[in-house]
Amino acid sequence: MALDTSGLRKERDGGFYKSPARLFLTEDREEVVAEDDPGARFLLVGEGGSIPNEVAERYGLIVDAEPEGEGDLSKLKVAELRELAAAEGVDLEGASKKAEIIAAIEGARAGGDES
């Protein structure tokens, strides 16, 4: 289960993101989870530690100046893509990887959803 990072997000400040908590990645390194999450496999950053902004952006930890919309879906993290798919009524059955979720959303938007 993905970690709700809304309370962890920060505005861009310099070249590094300073983490307020220990953050872990899942086995596929697609999602940020809490250390007590059963899917936690790799430490991303320790409490008070820093990671480059580019890495923090990949996992949705940097607040964008522009609101997220129907732009580049690859900039969204997996949990955000799942929320977007649910909001748009997109069936994600069989879609577990980020690319598969993006393809399902884009297919549904293009009218190619077979369900």
75 shares its domain with 38 = no
Whether pTM > 0.75 for this model: the answer is no
Residue with tokens 């480059």: 52
Q: Are 97 and 30 in contact (CB under 8 A)?
A: yes
The interaxial angle of helices 98-109 and 78-87, nearest 10 deg, is 30
For the chain, the domain total comes to 2
Residue 37's pLDDT is what? 92
53 shares its domain with 1 = yes
61 shares its domain with 75 = no
Q: Are 2 and 23 in contact (CB under 8 A)?
A: no
16 shares its domain with 48 = yes
pLDDT in tens, the chain (115 residues): 566 666 666 666 678 888 989 999 999 999 999 899 999 999 999 999 999 988 988 888 876 544 444 467 888 888 889 888 988 899 999 888 898 999 999 999 888 544 4
78 shares its domain with 57 = no
102 shares its domain with 54 = no
Domain limits for position 77 = 69-115
11 shares its domain with 60 = yes
CA distance 35 to 6: 17
29 shares its domain with 58 = yes
Q: Burial level of 70, CB count in 10 A (0-12/13-18/19+)?
A: exposed
DSSP H or E segment with residue 99:
helix 98-109
